[in-house]
Structure 1
Amino acid sequence: MSAHCHRRQDRRRGSRGPDPRPGRESLMAKKSKIAANERRRLVVARFALRRAELKEIIRTGTPEEKAAAVRELARQPRDASATRVRNRDSVDGRPRGHLTKFGISRIRFREMAHRGELPGITKASW
């Protein structure tokens, strides 16, 4: 097997190292993704009360009421379900590594903690 072939396998595994292009370390999520997520939040809030009522009917109602409630729930928009909302970093919209307690991603948390911008957060030392 030639050296060229090994490089291709390494590339497939994703072990290329950091992105060599300048300025790629602080990427922000696409504006459209952030906007879509905010739109979903509004839809969830608008339908939350009715969804809760329908879920309660499905849980406790008669078979006819349940069937009607399931049909009505199915007619609602998909984005009315709270599970469709994605937790994102409040600063740059990063969708992965979100820390709920702080509302930011793990990377942003680390940067802010090192700069002393998070009160009460210190590096572990033992």
Structure 2
Amino acid sequence: MAKEGMKEREKRKVQLVHKYRNKREAIKKAINSSNSFKRQLEIQEQLQKLPRRSAKSKLRNRCWLTGRSRGFYRDFGLSRHVLREMTHQCLLPGITKASW
């Protein structure tokens, strides 16, 4: 289990990313559409003034049940430990334990 503080910090990051998403996209579109290099640098400064945590790349995938960040399966939103337990309990339809 992840610490509760880590889970809360990640929730705040998600809110911050959503808050600045439109502004960030507009600035990036302006950078790509401008012709002069000086103008691109001016617009780039606007992008740098935005909070660093508002970048989408700063988000971390976490298990929705335990909050674990490593061993994350994107298809289910679960960590490998929880996925294995739920598979053994037949809680995930269509998933079976491999045997050969």
Q: Which runs of 5+ in 2 are unaligned?
A: none
Aligned to 2:56: 82
**Who is 2:86 aligned against?**
112
Query: Percent identity between the aligned chains?
Result: 35
Which portions of structure 1, spanning 4 or more consecutive aligned residues, are displaced by more than 3 angstroms?
Answer: none
Work out the CA distance in 1 between the residues paired with 2:42 and 2:15. 25
What one-letter code is carried by the residue in structure 1 that aligns with 2:43?
A
How far apart, in 2, do the equivalents of 1:125 and 1:92 lie? 27
Distance 1:30 1:49 in 2: 31
TM-score (norm 1): 0.74
**Aligned pairs, number:** 99
Q: CA RMSD in A?
A: 1.2
Uncovered stretches (5+) of structure 1, i.e. residues with no partner? 1-27
Corresponding residue number in structure 1 for 2:95: 121
Aligned counterpart for 1:39 among listed residues 3, 6, 12? 12
The one-letter code matched in structure 1 to 2:45 is R
Q: Bigger radius of gyration, 1 or 2?
A: 1
- How far did 1:57 drift? 1.9
For CA contacts below 8 A with separation 6 or more, give which structure has more relative contact order. Answer: 2
Structure 2 partner of 1:66: 40
Instruction: Give me the whole-angstrom Cα distance separating, in 2, the residues matched to 1:51 and 1:86.
Output: 19
- For 1:123 and 1:92, the matched residues in 2 are separated by 22
TM-score, normalised to structure 2, is 0.92
Alpha-carbon distance in 1 for matches of 2:40, 2:19: 22
Superposed displacement of residue 125, structure 1:
3.5
